[in-house]
Amino acid sequence: MSSTSAKQNIWQVIFASSAGTLIEWYDFYIFGSLSLILSEKFFPDSNPTLAYVATLATFAVGFIVRPFGAIVFGRLGDMVGRKYTFLLTLLIMGGSTFAIGLIPSYATIGILAPILVLILRLAQGLALGGEYGGAATYVAEHAPANKRGYYTSFIQTTATLGLFVSLGVILATRLSMSPEKFNEWGWRIPFWLSVFLVMMSYYIRIKLHESPLFSKLKSEGKTSKNPLKESFGNKENLKLVLLALFGAAMGQGVVWYTGQFYALSFLQNTMKIDFVQSNIIIAVALLFGTPFFIYFGGLSDRIGRKKIMMAGMFIAAISYFPIYNAMDKTVDLSSKQEISAMYRVEGNVTPDADGKMVESSAKVRTYADSTVVRDVTVTKAGKTTQHKEIKVGNTAMIWLIFLVFIQVIFVTMVYGPIAAFLVELFPTRIRYTSMSLPYHIGNGVFGGLLPAIATLMVQRTGNHLAGLFYPVTIAIICMVIGMVFIKEKKTKDGYAEEPEV
């Protein structure tokens, strides 16, 4: 094969793998991005705080089952092939996401609503558990050894881009209609759009060929007959699996979710910043930060995966408290000058989606730095709830974008090189199974539980920064284990090692 055709082939592989993985992440994250609205739709409204925590827990369930998906689909991928396995995961994910957009509200079908959501989140988690390992393995097995970090880093951008696209679609939908219509039914549109994205990605992926390393194994009759036993029953390989989890994936998972998902949750639920503004802050930070996945992936081919990932965990751990403290202070009303002439009270009565009348009033205060605070009181069916909505000025917006952008840089340091690191740790015959499990426990359990755990810690203690103790502790433990036990060998091509077949 000529160098030109080889280059075209690897880019075709990257595009097809990345497009599908991006869509699967989009499917997975629109649930988290809309968690506040979903808590109102699928859970009883008698206790809004508890409903929100329950929604975060349902979101987290999708992460918890990812390791089981890694085992099921990893085994299938090592026995049947990478291509057909991640075609199957794509269809399961897309179908589940579309179905969530069809579920009637709690007010319509009662307890059946959260049960159906939970079942579909389980399906999503299982599918995603099989997707990432397949895509990363597929790209790595097409890439030259000395550029494996660079090429697999394009797969690493898809999780962040999936979140970015989900935020973009949600914002576009929200801005195309009134807040009332969006809350009533417009939030379903991002879920419905998934089916068209999945069909497009399936069409692209079905044209791919199986990876050359796996095809070689299959033609020689050397594929694993029992990938689970070889991966986890073999003492030496199990040691590598545990090292991959506790020395890399665990810390990477909490840094990833702190810098993106917890940052969004903190803006919306702790700082009470306006829904549109908070999503714009995250989206812009992600847009500027995403190219650094590729930078650090390529850099890992030259100086090693370990140095970059461990540095990312360490810098993140010592930086989170000052960063989040600085974020929180941007809405500290005690330090702002209120413009009393711009104080006003708003009130109205409107029917909700079920035709019930809802009374709402808002005390609106404006401050000298353009911050606008709305203290909202809502009365529905005789029950009164109160919440605060804050819109910050342009200067504060830019400052918050910068603070989230710094966190995204930490994410790119730990996440950019990790696909190549995991691929090179295991032999081809059991790679899909072996790398998928530690990755999805690290991300799905340690990382996926972070928003729910951190939010609960903030609510229980009243300390806005209490939720950070969890990711900081996990990141430091992981960094210490990685520094002590992970060994990297420098080869003639740099730090990338040719994996065993």
Summarised one tens digit per residue, pLDDT across range 422-443 is 988 888 788 878 888 898 899 8
Q: What was the pLDDT predicted at 3? A: 46
Residue 168 reports pLDDT greater than 80: yes
Q: What was the pLDDT predicted at 1? A: 43
Residue 466 reports pLDDT greater than 90: yes
> What CA–CA distance (Å, rounded) separates 435 from 275?
37
> What CA–CA distance (Å, rounded) separates 365 from 349?
21
Q: What is the pTM of this model?
A: 0.82
28-52, pLDDT tens digit by residue?
678 777 877 888 888 877 667 667 7
Residue 496 reports pLDDT greater than 60: no
Q: What was the pLDDT predicted at 90? A: 83
Helix pair 418-425, 148-175: axis angle to 10 deg: 130
DSSP string, 248-271: IIHHHHHHHHIIIIIHHHIIIIIS
Report the run of H or E that residue 351 belongs to, with start and end.
Answer: strand 344-351
In percent, how much of the chain has pLDDT > 90? 33
Q: Which amino acid is at 46?
A: S
In percent, how much of the chain has pLDDT > 70? 92
Across 118-127, 136-145, 349-358, 472-481, the highest mean pLDDT is recorded for 472-481
Token digits for 458?
A: 């903030």
Please give the mean pLDDT across all residues of the chain: 85
Token digits for 21?
A: 């993985």
Q: How confident is the model at residue 6 (pLDDT cuts 50, 70, 90)?
A: very low
Residue 447 reports pLDDT greater than 80: yes
289-333, pLDDT tens digit by residue?
999 999 999 999 999 999 999 999 999 999 999 999 999 999 988
Residue 145 reports pLDDT greater than 70: yes
Q: In what side-by-side order are the strands of the sheet with 344-351?
A: 344-351, 357-366, 372-380, 383-391
Output 223 or 151, whichever has higher pLDDT.
151
Residue 497 reports pLDDT greater than 60: no
Q: Which amino acid is at 341?
A: A
Mean pLDDT on 229-247: 89
